[in-house]
A and B are shown apart, each in its own frame.
Chain A
Amino acid sequence: DGGITQSPKYLFRKEGQNVTLSCEQNLNHDAMYWYRQDPGQGLRLIYYSQIVNDFQKGDIAEGYSVSREKKESFPLTVTSAQKNPTAFYLCASSPGTYLSPLHFGNGTRLTVT
């Protein structure tokens, strides 16, 4: 079945450590996205990528980094520079038009202590 896989579902890290969240899609979508969600809040865009080897900062990119070496994969690294990394992270993909909905993975809940 086609879809988006995020792993792991829960992730725990100590403060000061970098951590990488995985996102893989087999929908053959050009565009991929990372969103952050805090309790009781909407989704805020961290980074997005329209094609392989290209990506742009979203609204809250500070303290995060991404790569897009393959069409299927868009990993997100939460660096130690991110001041409040504890959150729910959602990866999404879509065909590359504004008329298309985003398809989301099931999310990774990151807790940093």
Chain B
Amino acid sequence: AQKITQTQPGMFVQEKEAVTLDCTYDTSDQSYGLFWYKQPSSGEMIFLIYQGSYDEQNATEGRYSLNFQKARKSANLVISASQLGDSAMYFCAMREGNSGGSNYKLTFGKGTLLTVNP
């Protein structure tokens, strides 16, 4: 079973509008971290935002916020005021903390390709 599911292969948004990228996860661990990365066409992986499973407040970093709904096991990324430079592939990832020797692995979803239109 997939641990990270991103159901939107591609998304389009108009410049200056907000967009939500979906991510659901599956884990039986109580301790875990959820991460979002951006991958432009150049290929590098850019860390955007992080949410810990025990964090009570949703994480925010500038124009990025993470809508964390623990009961639903979802960790959606919200990008406000989209810019042309936001066009990229976005990956949701999870790191589980209670899995003994495997607690260092970061498991990725298949990604969502975001296109920002002028």
User: What is A's interface to B at a CB cutoff of 8 Å?
Assistant: 31, 33, 35, 41-45, 48, 50, 56, 58, 88, 90, 92, 94, 96-107, 109
In contact, B47 and A103 (Cβ under 8 angstroms): yes
Which partner residue on chain A sits nearest B110 by CB separation?
A42
Q: Is the CB of A101 within 8 A of B105?
A: no
Determine if B104 and A98 form an interchain contact, defined as CB atoms under 8 angstroms apart: yes
Interface residues of B in 48-78 (CB under 8 A from A): 50, 52
- Candidates B31, B91, B96, B101; contact of A43 at CB < 8 Å: B91
B35 at the interface (CB under 8 A from A): yes
A42 touches B105 (CB 8 A): no
In the complex the two chains form, is B95's CB within 8 Å of A98's CB? yes
Which residues of chain B have C-beta atoms less than 8 A from A105's C-beta? 44
- Whether the Cβ atoms of B44 and A102 lie closer than 8 Å is no
The answer to whether A98 touches B45, judged by C-beta atoms less than 8 angstroms apart, is: no
Find out whether the CB atom of A43 lies under 8 angstroms from the CB atom of B108.
Answer: yes
Contact yes or no, B104 A104, CB < 8 A = no
Residues in A neighbouring B50, C-beta threshold 8 A:
99, 101
Most chain-A Cβ atoms within 10 A of its Cβ — which of B32, B101, B107?
B107
Contact A88/B47 with A42-B108, A98-B95, A98-B103 known, Cβ cut-off 8 Å? no
- Over the window 104-117 of chain B, the binary record of Cβ atoms lying under 8 Å from chain A Cβ atoms (1 yes, 0 no) is 11111111000000
